[in-house]
Amino acid sequence: ALLNPSARVQISQYARSVTELFTLMIQERADEFRARVYEAAQFVFGKVENGQRRAKQILLSDEVLDQFSLSSVPKEKRKPNSHLSLLAMVDCWHALRINPYDHLICQTPPFRLWVGIVEYLFHDEDMLASSIEAALYDRSVRGEDLNFYSAAQGWAQCVALGSMEGYRLRFEDTSAFFKDRLREAGQLSSQMITTITKHIHK
């Protein structure tokens, strides 16, 4: 990211998308927020027809995500989540007029995983609507969204400045935070990437 000009542009826009969406959330500007999310969804995934996005769902299914879930909470008991990180990703693609499916077969495995998770949310209209409601009105998740907003700005500033030392420190700090789950998460993400790759090559 530090050495790739295109990546810098995308990271900058992603941070901007996080900022602008988070601003709409905390101000509870519901109409603007919904319009922005659904406009981005239509650009990336197509129109809704018969309750489904028109674009073909190719990467992850409900069964696959349940199989690889890191959560110990049963699905039926999980609380709504704003999924700000995912909403911002689609907003970023829309702002930059990027189609993530273009040349997907050539993309890196982590990018394929990211697309698969984002796609999963946006292909489930009920889950997407629940995320929007949580983003706007569920203050119990607002603290986590604030932390994510701050982190996104920090990473973007680090990349914009080209600071290798700052990048290293942030990476090590983040790794330390997740150290107890890194091995398990790494194994699961590798398995998910393998599953996604099989879907792409079908």
pLDDT by residue for the chain (202 residues), tens only, comes to 566 778 788 999 999 999 999 999 999 999 999 999 999 999 998 876 655 555 555 555 555 555 545 444 455 666 778 999 999 999 999 999 999 888 666 567 777 778 888 988 898 888 899 999 999 999 999 999 999 999 899 888 888 877 777 767 766 776 665 566 556 656 666 666 666 566 555 5
For residue 82, count CB atoms less than 10 angstroms from its CB and return exposed for 0-12, middle for 13-18, buried for 19 or more.
buried
State how far the Cα of 180 lies from the Cα of 201, in Å rounded to an integer.
Answer: 34
- Tally of domains within the chain: 1
Domain of 98, in residue numbers: 5-200
**Angstrom distance (rounded) from CA 53 to CA 56:** 8
